[in-house]
């Protein structure tokens, strides 16, 4: 009895969804002109030179928030499975030459990551890509200097703080759009609305920064949890 | 204008020749360590020459600076990587050299173990 009512309701709802397109007033916009609209008016509406970033963080920003939630869930699951407590102490690392060379190169890699993040609305790149570059630094540090060094310099608590901070920044900007302009993740308050400047395109650069730190810290946490597991297994073997 | 293009083509051509020499060395040399020698020395100089040639060809301040930075990165990172590969493959005894008359690194490792 109960099941049949639910099935009836579902059939009604799906019929409504199927025929809902018939009730839309006929316009030219409906059929396959979304791409054209974005290409011709994307720069005016969002102020972002990079149209891919405009789609990711303005037209479909809700999608990007879902993706970052997926990464958050992945990190949480991996940390839950491979717990924080069994920490490895490997302070040996690679040879003298590799340590010094990487110590020389690391700030430049950090700068490049920041460049890719902050210029996401001007040139190819953006939060996800720059975040991966930032995460690489922590990974190479724990390979080159030994994971104990990486643990001392960037403890997992800092990384967790960065990750949640990035996610919260994204949500805060979304809420700001809701308060100031009336819908979630609206492109509010462009300080300088002149396309091509570093500070332009409304809230897109700030979303980029949040996503970048979130992805970098998340990748570093995933890598760290995995190596501590393998390290313990190697210890047991020998 | 024309002289600049000729210089850039010469640099890029020299880089290409060095790259071909690298490939020949990688195929023809008998041992892991000698092959790494080819990859470290000749490939580095070929990459640096090609990037500098491109920088001369473009000849614009910011673009050329970026390309030269990429070349300097090759100059630092490629010897470091090959050094690390050779060292760890000797330490883990993945591939020991077939013929050796002088082997000071083995003495060093034995001293380190004592």
Q: Which of B76, B83, B88 sits opposite A105 (nearest CB)?
A: B76
Helices and strands per DSSP (H, E), number in chain B = 4, 0
Number of domains in chain B: 1
Q: What is the DSSP string of chain A?
A: -HHHHHHHHHHHHHHHHHHHHHHSPP-SSTTT-HHHHHHHHHHHHH--S-HHHHIIIIITHHHHHHHHHHHHHHHHHHHHHS-SSS-------S-HHHHHHHHHHHHHHHHHHHHHHHTTTTSS--HHHHHHHHHHHHHHHHHHS-HHHHHHHS-HHHHHHHHHHHHHHHHHHHHHHHHHHSSTT-----SS--TTSSS-STTHHHHHHHHHHHHHHHHHHHHHHHHHHHHHHHHHH-
Contacts of A101 in chain B (CB under 8 A): 76-77, 80
> Are A97 and B80 an interchain contact pair (Cβ–Cβ within 8 Å)?
yes
Residues 8-37 of B with CB under 8 A from A: none
What's the pLDDT at A14? 92
Distance from CA of B79 to the nearest CA of A (A): 10
Residue B101 domain boundaries: 1-113
Percentage of chain A modeled with pLDDT above 90: 5
Rg (C-alpha) for chain B, rounded Å, is 18
Dig out the tokens for A88 from the structure.
């490895």
Q: For A91-107, write each residue's pLDDT tens digit.
A: 666 778 888 888 888 88
Rg (C-alpha) for chain A, rounded Å, is 23
In chain A, whose CA is at the least distance from the CA of B74? A105
CB A62 within 8 A of CB A186: no
Count A/B contacts: CB-CB distance under 8 Å.
21
Interface test with B, best of A92, A93, A96, A98 (most B CBs within 10 A): A98
The arithmetic mean of pLDDT across residues B4-18, rounded, is: 92
Return mean pLDDT, chain A: 78
Please check whether residue B91 touches A, CB under 8 A: no
Can you tell me the distance from the alpha carbon of A17 to that of A68, in angstroms, rounded to the nearest whole number? 29
The arithmetic mean of pLDDT across residues A125-138, rounded, is: 87
Return mean pLDDT, chain B: 84
Interface test with A, best of B84, B87, B109 (most A CBs within 10 A): B84
Can you tell me the distance from the alpha carbon of A11 to that of B82, in angstroms, rounded to the nearest whole number? 65
pLDDT band at B20 (very low <50, low <70, confident <90, very high): very high
Tell me the whole-structure pTM to 2 decimals.
Answer: 0.74
Dig out the tokens for A197 from the structure.
């400047």
What is the separation, in whole angstroms, between the first and last Cα of chain A? 64
Contacts of B109 in chain A (CB under 8 A): none
């Amino acid at each position: 009895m109960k099941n049949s009512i639910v099935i009836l309701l579902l059939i009604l709802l799906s019929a409504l969804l199927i025929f809902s397109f018939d009730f839309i007033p006929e316009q030219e916009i409906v059929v396959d002109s979304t791409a054209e609209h974005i290409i011709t008016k994307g720069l005016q509406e969002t102020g972002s030179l990079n149209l891919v970033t405009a789609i990711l963080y303005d037209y479909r920003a809700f999608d990007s928030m879902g993706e970052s939630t997926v990464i958050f869930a992945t990190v949480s699951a991996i940390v839950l499975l491979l717990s924080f407590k069994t920490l490895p102490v490997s302070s040996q690392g690679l040879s003298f030459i590799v340590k010094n060379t990487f110590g020389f190169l690391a700030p430049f890699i950090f700068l490049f990551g920041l460049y890719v993040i902050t210029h996401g609305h001007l040139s190819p790149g953006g939060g996800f890509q720059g975040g991966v570059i930032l995460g690489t630094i922590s990974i190479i540090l724990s390979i080159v200097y030994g994971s104990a060094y990486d643990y001392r310099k960037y403890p997992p608590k800092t990384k967790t703080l960065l990750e949640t901070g990035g996610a919260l920044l994204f949500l805060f900007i979304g809420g700001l759009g809701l308060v100031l302009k009336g819908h979630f993740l609206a492109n509010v308050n462009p300080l300088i609305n002149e396309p091509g400047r570093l500070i332009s395109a409304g809230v897109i650069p700030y979303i980029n920064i949040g996503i970048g730190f979130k992805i970098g810290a998340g990748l570093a946490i995933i890598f760290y949890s995995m190596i501590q597991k393998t390290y313990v297994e190697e210890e047991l073997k020998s | 204008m024309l002289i600049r293009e000729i210089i850039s083509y010469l640099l890029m051509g020299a880089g290409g020749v060095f790259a071909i020499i690298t490939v020949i060395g990688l195929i023809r040399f008998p041992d892991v360590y000698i092959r790494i020698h080819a990859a470290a020395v000749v490939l580095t100089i070929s990459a640096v020459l090609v990037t500098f040639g491109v920088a001369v060809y473009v000849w614009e301040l910011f673009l050329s600076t970026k390309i030269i930075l990429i070349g300097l990165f090759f100059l630092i990172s490629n010897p470091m990587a090959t050094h690390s590969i050779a060292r760890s493959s000797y330490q883990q005894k993945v591939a020991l050299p077939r013929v050796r008359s002088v082997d000071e690194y083995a003495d060093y490792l034995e001293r380190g173990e004592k």
